[in-house]
Amino acid sequence: MRKYIVAGNWKMNLSFDDAEELIESLIDLKKGDELEGLLMIVFPSFPYLELATDLTDEVDVYIGSQNVSNKEKGAYTGEVSASMLNSMDVAYCIVGHSERRKYFKETPEQIREKIDLLLEQAIKPIFCCGELVDERNENLHFLVVKAQIEQSLFHLNTEEIKNVVMAYEPVWAIGTGLTATPEQAEEMHAYIRKLISDKYGESIADEMSILYGGSCNANNARNLFAQPNIDGGLIGGASLNADDFYRIYKSF
């Protein structure tokens, strides 16, 4: 069955105490509210992962990492490997986020390596793709997203692709307050599902969760999530406030 997901990418925000308070508030809000087939995932920074997995040990809130190394292990100062994440019960990891592509010059090849290492460790990658504003204005958005998916995902086999979650994140909508309209987002999500279906078959495409990300908030989430091919959201700014994030979660 296709899973619906509301995921909070905290980025490089919050002190340790703030992170603890935010997770505790979410656990409190969500208590007794286990919705079948609808997952809540939060992505704190590396130093808070252990705190987060400990606090959510007994509850239905999943923890993911914002990043992972493309190296397996060894002399790579400052890097965090997929096997380290696995040893801390981290279940998901964001890969291909536009901020990493832009500021850290991550290449499709590195993203592919990260995905492979995560899958070997049974951690589900949340693969982000999306076009720049100029690419949309030039009507290149479908081509850009297709290339990103082909370059970093299409080497996977059928069993592997089943463990990938997709996130369509138009770069012009991230952190800008400019959300894609439900129609724009739905059009791209349907296109992504068709790409997956053509490559891996209809049943795999039908099972795949495709999230929308880009200035999604408590006011616009309901209309976005009502679209047939939008299976949830990857939320940045609005995930830093427990009430807002919980309202988004309840928008299904």
Residues that bind ligand PEP (CB under 6 A): 9, 169, 174-175, 213-216, 234-238
Give the contacts of 168 (CB within 8 A, at least 6 positions apart). 129, 130, 145, 185, 188, 189, 192, 210, 211, 212, 213
CA angle 237, 238, 242 (to 5 degrees): 125
Cα Rg for the chain, rounded, in angstroms? Answer: 17
Per the residue annotation, which of 97, 131, 135, 186 is the catalytic one? 97
In the bound state with ligand PEP, the residue whose beta carbon lies nearer, of 200 and 210, is: 210
Q: Which is nearer to ligand PEP, 100 or 193 (CB)?
A: 100
CB of 193 to ligand PEP, least distance (A): 20
Q: Which is nearer to ligand PEP, 86 or 184 (CB)?
A: 184
Annotated catalytic residue: which of 131, 169, 186, 189?
169
Cβ contact 11:66 at 8 Å: yes
Q: Is 24 a catalytic residue?
A: no
Q: Compute the least distance from the CB of residue 147 to ligand PEP, in Å.
A: 20
Nearer to ligand PEP by C-beta: 121 or 215?
215
We find the least distance from the C-beta atom of residue 190 to ligand PEP, in angstroms, to be 20
For residue 152 the two structure tokens come to 């970093």
Alpha carbon distance 103, 106 (integer Å): 8
Cβ neighbour number for residue 82 with a 10 Å cutoff? 27
CA-to-CA distance for 130 and 61, rounded, in angstroms? 27
| Nearest distance, CB of residue 168 and ligand PEP, angstroms | 10
Dig out the tokens for 124 from the structure.
């589900």
Exposure on the CB side of residue 80, measured as CA atoms within 13 A: 15
Smallest distance, ligand PEP to C-beta of residue 12, A: 11
Nearer to ligand PEP, 125 or 214 (CB): 214
d(CA 157, CA 140): 28
Residue 249's Cβ-side half-sphere holds a number of Cα atoms within 13 Å equal to: 26
DSSP string covering 64-77: EES---SS-SSS-T
Residue 79 falls in the annotated catalytic set? no
Residue, CB closest to ligand PEP? 236
Tell me which residues are annotated as active site: 97, 169
